[in-house]
Structure 1
Amino acid sequence: MKTKIAVFGCGWLGLPLAQSLQQKGYTINGSTTSKEKINLLKDSGIHPFLVDLNDTNFITNLDLFLNDVEILIINIPPRMKTGDATNYYQKMKLVHQCAKAAGVDKVIFVSSTSVYGNINGDVTEKTTPKPATNAAKQLLDIEQLFLNDNSLRATIIRFGGLIGNGRHPIHHLVKKDVVANGNHPINLIDITDCISVITLIIEKNYWNEIFNAVYPFYPTKEEYYTQTAKNKGLKPPLFTSNKNESGKKVLSYNLVSVKLFDFNTSV
């Protein structure tokens, strides 16, 4: 019998991830905050659980969700329904405690390259993060919470900007009159590769590690988004550049150079 995996957060990435893992023969618990999604999860062969971080009794539901689970994939971004991210870390501390109490052995925490902040130049997993926003600071704190717990085997994935399956930053950018930092490189990854990276970690047992996950293609934002807008029949926004800053280029060193992972879906 294959491993039982809990996918905490069956949204844009979590749902197709859970479906993919289920199709590979894993037993999957999937969480959602939406009652309307329960049947969708059931129809995909996923055991559905209603777990809402903002609900007063979410710990009870979380305990049920984590019962007999070996691997927990945490895919909950630091955006609370109130629009206030300040309690995100506290909520994740409770998730951490519940996971330990439930006997969860391994954790994948989906983080973000935003933890590197406004660093200029090439960035690898060995680069010291310098988060510039409240949400990014909390992501880094949660990374450390799991990595420093020797009773768990935790791996962190720092994804770049997420695209695919109808999602692309260009739809947001074309609504702006001017977009700053047009000379900075893009750092994006398609959802298909996101799922491949998570699956690789599970199947190869890559635990207690940190992975940057960004497609190795780094044109400037102005070059890339101007062409993308034209390809989609949209009017490109105007870009300004800061010649004193080159922006960060996030390299997936551990994935590509160490694990020899091949990205399959271009951005």
Structure 2
Amino acid sequence: MDSRAASTVDSCSHSSGHSVAIVGLGWLGEPLALTLQQLGYQVAGTTTTADKASRLAALGIQTLLWNLDAPLPTQWPTALAADTLIVCVPPGKVDNYAQRLGEVARLAADGGVQRLLFTSATSIYSGLGAQREADAKPDSERGERMQATENAMHASGVLQVMCLRLSGLVGGSREPGRFLAGRSFEGGEEPINLVAQEDLLRFMPALLARNDWPSVLNVSAPHHPSRREFYSQAAKLRGLAPPQFSGGGEGKTIDGSAISRYLSLDYLVTDWFDWLAERNRS
């Protein structure tokens, strides 16, 4: 462990009295909950699956069954009482996404939540070239929905809100070799914008240990090879049919460097081909 990573763990363990509620114990929320628990946080969360609720409860994560498409409670659930709320709910998991998550955030504010971290997405950016935090100009329905949700988070009444704009998610159960294998696409020369689960599980606890949150940060690994290069290699290493690409495409690159400067933490993944090879060996 390098000195910066060690200092991050130390600062997090000093926050042992802090409590965190995670709405959405899924691909990111579940390992994040377990990571925070190991760092001394009191952690609770939500899921839509009874088996998962039982399994996580047995591990000491108080887990509430909560379907966000059902009518919301009139008060913030006691099981989710916490200093900080993390909302890790992808758009495809709930109808009327911006409206419903805004309602959840306002309920949390009324329930005493002091800080809110929302996992947004880089679909909020349009255009070509490097995209930084100030460049959000959505040009798609997905991007407009995400911007509306960010606005709802900031208008919720929670005292401190940060939107973490995540690039494409890989690692854990998300195997990029299977994403495009054997299919045909345009834009083979467009750069990829991805972030690995292992980097999120370092950055997010470090963010919780800080009290001077910016309103928004990007999370995107600093290596942006072409889609053709990356997904062809990812499929090859898994013994799958490579995707076929036509056309070029300049595309955009998401600049995720601000979070590194803010936390004094480098990305673990700085070369996606090295990451693919290591993942294939494990």
TM-score exceeds 0.5: yes
- Does structure 2 retain, via aligned residues, the 8 Å contact 1:162–1:168? no
**RMSD across aligned C-alpha pairs, in angstroms?**
1.9
Query: What does residue 250 of structure 2 align with?
Result: 246
Evaluate the alpha carbon distance shift between residue 49 and residue 61 of structure 1 in structure 2; reply closer, same or farther with a 3 A threshold.
farther
- Other structure's SS at 2:133 match: coil
Query: What does residue 64 of structure 1 align with?
Result: 78
Measure how far apart 1:16 and its partner are: 0.4
TM-superposition CA deviations, 1:184-237 (whole Å, max 9, x none): 001111111112121111012242421110111111000111111111111211
The within-5 A match list for 1:164-203 is: 164-176=171-183, 178-203=184-209
1:237 partnered with 2:252 = no
Evaluate the alpha carbon distance shift between residue 185 and residue 203 of structure 1 in structure 2; reply closer, same or farther with a 3 A threshold.
same
Query: What does residue 35 of structure 1 align with?
Result: 50
1:76 partnered with 2:76 = no
* Partner Cα distance (1:93, 1:128) in 2: 20
In structure 1, stretches of 5+ residues that fail to align are none
Query: What does residue 277 of structure 2 align with?
Result: none
* Partner Cα distance (2:22, 2:93) in 1: 18
Evaluate the alpha carbon distance shift between residue 26 and residue 258 of structure 1 in structure 2; reply closer, same or farther with a 3 A threshold.
closer
- Other structure's SS at 1:204 match: coil
| Farther off after superposition, 38-47 or 12-21 | 38-47
In proportion to residue count, which structure has more helix? 2
* Partner Cα distance (2:75, 2:247) in 1: 48
Q: 2:168 aligns with which of 161, 181, 185?
A: 161
- Does structure 2 retain, via aligned residues, the 8 Å contact 1:153–1:208? no
Query: What does residue 121 of structure 2 align with?
Result: 112
- Does structure 2 retain, via aligned residues, the 8 Å contact 1:7–1:73? yes
Q: 2:143 aligns with which of 136, 159, 172?
A: 136
User: Which runs of structure 1 show a deviation greater than 4 angstroms over 4 or more consecutive aligned residues?
Assistant: 148-151
- Which amino acid in the other structure matches residue 71 of structure 1? T
TM-superposition CA deviations, 1:30-61 (whole Å, max 9, x none): 110111111211122111111111223x4258
1:99 partnered with 2:108 = yes
* Partner Cα distance (1:44, 1:265) in 2: 29
- Which amino acid in the other structure matches residue 105 of structure 1? Q
Identical counterparts, % of pairs:
30
* Partner Cα distance (1:253, 1:148) in 2: 27
Equivalenced residues, count: 256
Q: 2:30 aligns with which of 7, 11, 15?
A: 15
Measure how far apart 1:154 and its partner are: 0.6
* Partner Cα distance (1:29, 1:158) in 2: 23
Normalised by the size of structure 1, how large is the TM-score? 0.89
In structure 2, stretches of 5+ residues that fail to align are 1-15, 273-282
